[in-house]
Amino acid sequence: MKSRIFVALAVGIVLSLASFTATAQKDAPLRKSVMADTGILSLGQGQVLRVTVDWGDGSAEAVVRFRRIEYSQGICNGGLCPLAMSSQTTSGPLTLMPGEGASMDISDAAFGVRGVVFSNRPDVKVTAEIVNSSTGEVTSHVIMANTEGDFH
């Protein structure tokens, strides 16, 4: 239980510190503005990191991209274990109309995973959850509003 709370707090802290400096124009290419970043998380067996974007109350379309990053572990020394990025995949742009949402699941990483969302809109809402893949139960849940990094 303590590890679940720690993971939820870690996700929340990293998401609240994420940069919300989208500088988009409707016809401009999607900037690499980080809307939310989970930081590196270690998932337990049978767990999935689910990152969801909600464009519920927007007045125009929002364009989002998801990035999945996996890490491998280097040689540990005195309890310190370096992690190195082993793979990275970024989705193509996905256009969301008002009232729509999208999600990405990340699993099967040996030492660490990270989910990042990019968007042309600074006010999309991003949620990060850790889900039990066999039961569908949400074991950790953090919702971050993109208004000054406040928890809602």
The b-or-e profile of 109-139 (16+ CB within 10 A means b, else e) is bebbbbbbbbbbbbebbbbbbbbeeeeeeeb
What's the Cα-to-Cα distance from 4 to each of 11, 51, 142, rounded to whole Å? 11, 17, 11
- Residue 44 counted as domain residue: yes
- Residue 75 counted as domain residue: yes
- Residue 69 counted as domain residue: yes
Count how many domains the chain has. Answer: 1
User: Residue 32: which pLDDT band, with cuts at 50, 70 and 90?
Assistant: low
- Residue 53 counted as domain residue: yes
Q: What is the mean pLDDT of the chain?
A: 77
- Residue 9 counted as domain residue: yes
72-123: per-residue pLDDT in tens?
A: 999 999 999 999 999 999 999 999 999 999 999 998 777 899 999 999 988 8
The residue behind tokens 């689910």 is: 50
Residue 2, pLDDT score: 46
The residue behind tokens 């802290």 is: 13
- Residue 149 counted as domain residue: no
Residue 34, pLDDT score: 63
Residue 124, pLDDT score: 87
Range of the domain at 104: 2-144
- Residue 151 counted as domain residue: no
